[in-house]
Amino acid sequence: MLLIHCPYCDETLPEAEFAYAGEAHVARPLDPSSTSDEEWRDFLFIRSNVKGDHFERWRHAHGCGRFFNAVRDTVSDRFLTTYKAGAPRPDLTALKDAAE
C-alpha cells in the first residue's frame, strides 16, 4: 500500500484514505466557445501517461477531503513530493538533489 503525505493535514497516511484524481495541471480551456475539437480532445482525453515522474492529483477523501498535487515515479510508485493545490509545479532536479 502506498503511503501518502497530505500537505494540509501534514501527516503521512495509508493509500486507503485517499482517492486518485488523475493528472495534475490540466487546465480547462478559458474560452470554451472558441475552442477547437482538437483542443477539446486534448483537454478531455489526452493524458501524458508518463513512465517516470508523474504530476497527479489526489484527494484526502477520508481525511480533510481536500485536493492536492503530488509527484510520483510511475515505475517505482515512490512519491517525490506532495504540494497544495494551486501551488506551481515543484522543481524536480532540486527535489532529487535534496533527496540524495
Partner 1 sequence: MTRFSALSLLRNAVTGHKGWTEQWPDSQPKDEYDVVIVGAGGHGLGAAYYLAKEHGITNVAVIDKGWLGGGNTGRNTTIIRSNYLYDESARLYDHALDLWEGLSQELNYNVMFSRRGVMMLAHNVHDVQSFQRHIHANRLNGVDNRWLTAKEAKAFCPPLNIAPDARYPVMGAALQMRAGTARHDAVAWGYARGAAARGVDIIQNCPVIAIRRGPDGAVQGVDTAKGFIKAKKVAVSAAGHTSVLMDSAGVRMPLESFPLQALVSEPVKPVMPCVVMSNTVHAYISQSDKGELVIGSGTDQYTSYSQRGGLPLIEHTVAAICEVFPIFNRMRMLRKWGGIVDVTPDRSAILGKTPVPGLYVNCGWGTGGFKATPGAAHVLAHTVARDEPHPINAPFTLERFTTGRLIDEAAAAAVAH
Q: Is 3 in the site for partner 1 (CB under 8 A)?
A: no
Instruction: List the one residue from 74, 89, 91, 96 that touches partner 1 (CB under 8 A).
Output: 74
The stretch near partner 1 (CB under 8 A) out of 11-19, 26-34, 80-88, 89-97 is 11-19
Q: Is 46 in the site for partner 1 (CB under 8 A)?
A: yes
Q: Is 1 in the site for partner 1 (CB under 8 A)?
A: yes
The stretch near partner 1 (CB under 8 A) out of 5-13, 14-22, 24-32, 84-92 is 14-22
Query: For residue 55, what are the contacts with CB-CB under 8 A and spacing of at least 6?
Result: 23, 24, 25, 69, 70, 71, 89
Burial of 5 per CB tally in 10 Å (0-12, 13-18, 19+): middle
Instruction: Give, in order, the Cα–Cα distances in Å from 57 to each of 33, 36, 38, 70.
Output: 27, 26, 24, 6
Minimum distance of partner 1 from residue 68's CB (angstroms): 14
Instruction: List the one residue from 7, 24, 54, 69 that touches partner 1 (CB under 8 A).
Output: 54
Q: Please name the amino acid found at residue 3.
A: L
